[in-house]
Amino acid sequence: MLPEFLEYGFMQRAFAVGLMTALICPAIGVFLVPRRLSLIADTLAHVALAGVAVGLILGLSPVLGALLVTAAGAVGIERLRARGTLQGDASLAVFLSGGFAVAVVLISLSGGFNADLFAVLFGSIVTVSPLDVWVVLALGALVGSTVALFYRQLLAITLSEELARTSGVPVAALNLVLTVLTALTTVVTMRMVGVLLVSAMIVIPTLTGFAVARSFRLATAIAIAAAVTSVVVGLIAAYYLRLAAGGSVVLTALAIFGAATLARSLRGRRPAPPLPP
């Protein structure tokens, strides 16, 4: 017997999309947060908004437009960062505001905001279509398998790019792969929590993992568990309390993070270093 909130097809699809999001966001986040790239997802989300606008104007699917433009933006950010033309956060700032400006101009060209754009900004779980689910599952499988395949190398780069380079890891190529994976993750996550909250899903569960775990692998596992819990609790709360789903999920993730930090300080442990050995 299904609980009431799973009787409806749209809630089943919301959970499918949400759980896939919860699996891949921390899996990417653990490689971003320690390198001070926490805001890259937020940046790519703003670039994705421009992609959505392109999609709407050209009559393409907004997800397709977002995928193409966001992947291109990701490559651009990584190029600027790798060449040292701009410091890491400066290139993020350029792309964040630039992407948003392009989006705003394109939206004004297309005749103004409409319900579609609100759904992109704040997420919309009640209108997830079966096609959306398949796209999200496919992208999620791609992100997950790539991370699993290159886990050791990505970990090495995260610990120290220099060290990884000297030990023969193809740093530049893998950085590019990671950035494109971040772009895919952003587009997937956007469907559920909206552009404005994407980076929360990537960063907050990851911080929870690093707050309590001693090893990188354990931190990843805890981060995924925290994200899955946030999605399940957030969606159920949204259903019964009539709340916005994206915000509920993120607030749950924040509550878990708060609890984890509190638990750590109660145990009197030193704050974990940003990179647990």
Partner 1 sequence: MSRLGALALLATLGAGCEPSAGPPPPAPSRLHVVASVYPVYEFARHVAGEAAEVALLIPPGVEPHDWEASPKDVGRVADARVFVHNGAGFEPWVDRLLAGLGDRRPAVVAAAAGLELLDALPAADPHGHGHPPPRRERAAGPAPAKDPHVWLDPVLAAAQVEAIRAGLAAADPPNAARYAAGAEAFAARLRALHERFEQGLASCQRREIVVSHAAFTYPARRYRLTQIPITGAAPDAEPSPAELARIVRVARRHRVSVVFFEPLVASRLADALARELGARTLPLNPIEGLTREEAARGTGYVALMEKNLAHLRDGLGCR
Q: Which residues bind partner 1 (CB under 8 A)?
A: 4-5, 7-11, 14, 111-116, 118-119, 124-130, 235, 238-240, 242-245
Quote the least distance from Cβ 69 to partner 1, whole Å: 20
Q: How far is the CB of 109 from partner 1 (least distance, A)?
A: 13
CB nearer to partner 1: give 124 or 182.
Answer: 124
DSSP string, the chain: ---GGGSSHHHHHHHHHHHHHHHHHHHHHHHHGGGT-TTHHHHHHHHHHHHHHHHHHHTS-HHHHHHHHHHHHHHHHHHHHHHTSS-HHHHHHHHHHHHHHHHHHHHHHTTS--HHHHHHHH--STT--HHHHHHHHHHHHHHHHHHHHTHHHHHHHHH-HHHHHHTT--HHHHHHHHHHHHHHHHHHHHHHH-GGGHHHHHHHHHHHHHHH-SSHHHHHHHHHHHHHHHHHHHHHHHHHHT--HHHHHHHHHHHHHHHHHHHHHHTTPPPPPSS--
We find the least distance from the C-beta atom of residue 116 to partner 1, in angstroms, to be 5
Nearest distance in Å: CB 131, partner 1: 11
Between 57 and 259, CB nearer to partner 1: 57
**Nearer Cβ to partner 1 (64/218):** 64
Nearer to partner 1, 6 or 94 (CB): 6
